[in-house]
Every structure is written in structure tokens, then in C-alpha cells.
Amino acid sequence: MNKLLCALLATTCLNAHADNRPFEHPMDFYLGSDYQLMDLKTVGTPGQADFSHVNLRGGVFIFEQIALEAQLGVYDNDDMVEGTTYELSANRALFVRLLTPRHRGFAFDLGLGYAHTEVDLTNQALNQSISDDGFAYSARIDYAVNPNWHVALDYTSRDLGNEVELDSYGLGVSYHF
């Protein structure tokens, strides 16, 4: 995944000066939703839990190429790995999004922020909740269909301490006001 992020960043840097069209103005805002596939890996467990959910997001531009974005996961599913049920019970995040200039409708952004995630593990002998707050990062490719509607591909990684790694891949839409 690091190679993918580096390739996206390099491509973005090469295209950053190709188009100097203005970005959204400070105090412009947007609302959006993503459908995300999530992979959860725990230390000491050979398998991984797979979830899918809808992620609601909203953001406001504080500068032309910097936005603050809040995300809230909405979900109702779980996965069983070797007799243990994994259920994602909370998924919230706050990101600072750093955007590149748009070129032919495309823009790349990097999100750095804070996430709160809770995962419930249950089986015959175990009823445990893993909850952690910590660093999260995200990379997104955004395409402006028109000035208001945008479509995006997104990768997000959340650090849940030394025990759990949670990665998500999403496809979403947003409306820019």
C-alpha cells in the first residue's frame, strides 16, 4: 500500500503545476457518503475480518486547498473469523485534508487526522471490546463531474494500537455547496 501512496503522490506532484484553476473558496462546504470495504487484522489471529459499511462525511474549506472533514460510519454487519465474531461498533474520524490543484477534473488529497474505532469480539469464551483513539491517514482521488457533484476513490488506515490494523477502501460521492 505504501508503494501505491508514493505513486499517487509522485503523479500528483508532476501534475500539480499543470492546471492553476482556483479551488473551492474558504468557508465552502460539502456533504458526502462513501461505501467502504474494511479489512481488520489482529495480532495472533491468522485470518482477517471483512466489513462493509456506509461512511457519512462533511467538510468545510478553511483555505483554498485545506479542508476540515468529519466522518461517521453507519453500518450493521459483522464477520466471523475462526469462531470469533468481529463487529465494528463505532467508527468516527476527523481529518485535515490537503488537496492538490485540480487537473482535468481530477484532484488528489491526503487526509491526516484522529479516529475513534471500537470493535467487539465475541465467542463462547470471550466477550471483549477493543476501543482506541489514534492517528489515521487517508488518500483520495477526487473527480469533479460538475462544479457541485464529485466522485472519489479513497483509502484510509486507522491505527488501533499494537493489536489491530484497520484499512478501508471506498467509493463515494459528495455535493459541494
pLDDT of residue 76: 66
Q: What is the mean pLDDT of the chain?
A: 82
- What would the mean pLDDT of 72-84 be, rounded to a whole number? 79
Q: Are 176 and 69 in contact (CB under 8 A)?
A: no
- What would the mean pLDDT of 105-122 be, rounded to a whole number? 89
Q: What is the 3-state secondary structure (H, E, C) of 96-119?
A: EEEECCCECCEEEEEEEEEEEEEE
pLDDT band at 2 (very low <50, low <70, confident <90, very high): low
- Cα–Cα distances (Å) from 80 to 48, 76, 86, 113, in that order, read 9, 14, 6, 30
Query: Is the model's pLDDT at 7 over the cut of 70?
Result: no
Phi, psi of 161 (to 5 degrees): 85, -160
Nearest Cα to Cα of residue 115 among 49, 170, 173, 161? 161
pLDDT of residue 13: 46
- What would the mean pLDDT of 102-109 be, rounded to a whole number? 91
Phi, psi of 5 (to 5 degrees): -60, -40
128-142 pLDDT, tens digit each: 777 778 889 999 999
pLDDT of residue 72: 93
Query: Is the model's pLDDT at 20 over the cut of 50?
Result: no
Give the bridge partners for 165, in sequence order: 41, 159
Q: Are 62 and 26 in contact (CB under 8 A)?
A: yes
Q: Which of 3-12, 112-121, 123-132, 165-174 has the lowest mean pLDDT?
A: 3-12
pLDDT of residue 119: 79
User: Within the chain, what is the greatest distance between any pair of CA atoms?
Assistant: 60
pLDDT of residue 113: 95
